[in-house]
Amino acid sequence: MLTSALVTATISGSMLYTLAGVICAVLLQRWRLDPLRRISSIGPSLPVLSYLSTLRFIFHAKEMLQEGHDNACDAQSTFTHALYHLAAKPAYTGLLREEIKRVVSEDEDGWTRAALGRMWRLESFLKESQRMNGVSRMAILRFTLQDVLLSNGTLLAADAATFDPARFSSMSGEGSKNRRHFVGTSPTDIGFGHGRHACLGRFFAADELKIMLACVVMRFDVKFREEGKRPENEWFVYVCYPARDAQVLFMKRRVA
C-alpha cells in the first residue's frame, strides 16, 4: 500500500527550497551586519562591484532553484492526479495496457520516443486529467476593469465536468491533430501555456509523465482503498493539489 508517497516527495522539495532560502538569508544578514567582512570574504583586492555581482548570483541561483522546484511539483501533482483517476476507475487500465503493448511490439526498437508519440489513449488520459485538475484555477492573474462580453462562438465541451479518458483520442477532423497532443496548446488548451509563453520544457515533461504512467499500468493494478471514490482535490488559494490523505493500493501483476 502506498499512502501519499508523491505528496511526501513534494514536501521534501519544499523543504529543499526553504533550506536554500534560509542559507541565502543567513549570508545576506552576515554581509548586512558586517560590511568589512563582506568585502574581505570575497577578496581583499576586489571592488564593491564584485560583491554586487556575487549578491546577484545568489539571488539568481535561488530563483533557478525555485523554478526547478515548481516544475518538479507540477509534474508530481499532474502524475498524482492521473494516478487517482486510474485508481478510481481501474477499468481504464485494460484499455491503456492493450495500447501500450501493441505500440511497443510494433516498434522495432521497443520503447522509443516515437512509440510514446503513438500512444493516443495514454496521451488523451493525461490531457483529460490535466484539463480536469489544472495546476492553477487562474491562468492569468489579471482583472478586467469593465464588463467583457464573450462571443456566441465560444466552444464548451460536452459534459465538461465529467472525466472522459477518450475525449482527445477520439477527436477527428481539421484542426484536431494539435488538440490531440498532450503538449498541444491553443487559446482553449492552456495547461502548458500558449503562444510565446508556452512552456519550453513541456515536451520533456510529457514524455516523463507518459513513461511514469505507462510503467505503473504495465506493472501494477491500482485502486483506492474505498473503491470507485476519487477523493476531492485540495486548494490553496487558487492552486490545486491532489488529496494528501488518499490511500492507493498497488498490486504487483504476475506476467507470464
Q: Which three cell numbers stand for residue 21?
A: 532560502
Phi (first) and psi of residue 169, to 5 degrees = -70, -25
CA nearest 136: which of 58, 1, 232, 233? 233
CA angle (147 as vertex; 239, 130 as ends), nearest 5 = 25
Give the pairing of strands 220-224 and 234-236.
Answer: unpaired
Q: 59-62: long-range contacts at Cβ-Cβ below 8 A with a sequence spacing of 24 or more?
A: 59/24, 61/20, 62/20, 62/21, 62/24
Matching residue, cell 520503447: 111
User: Rounded to an integer, what is the distance from CA 193 to the centroid of its chain?
Assistant: 12
Q: Which three cell numbers stand for residue 129?
A: 486529467
Matching residue, cell 460536452: 158
**199 assigned binding-site residue:** yes
Phi (first) and psi of residue 123, to 5 degrees = -65, -45
Measured CA to CA, the distance from residue 256 to residue 254 in angstroms comes to 6
Q: Which residues make Cβ contacts (< 8 Å) with residue 189, sequence separation at least 6?
A: 127, 131, 179
Q: Which three cell numbers stand for residue 10?
A: 513534494
Q: List residues forming the annotated binding site for heme.
A: 199
Q: Which residues contribute to the annotated binding site? A: 199
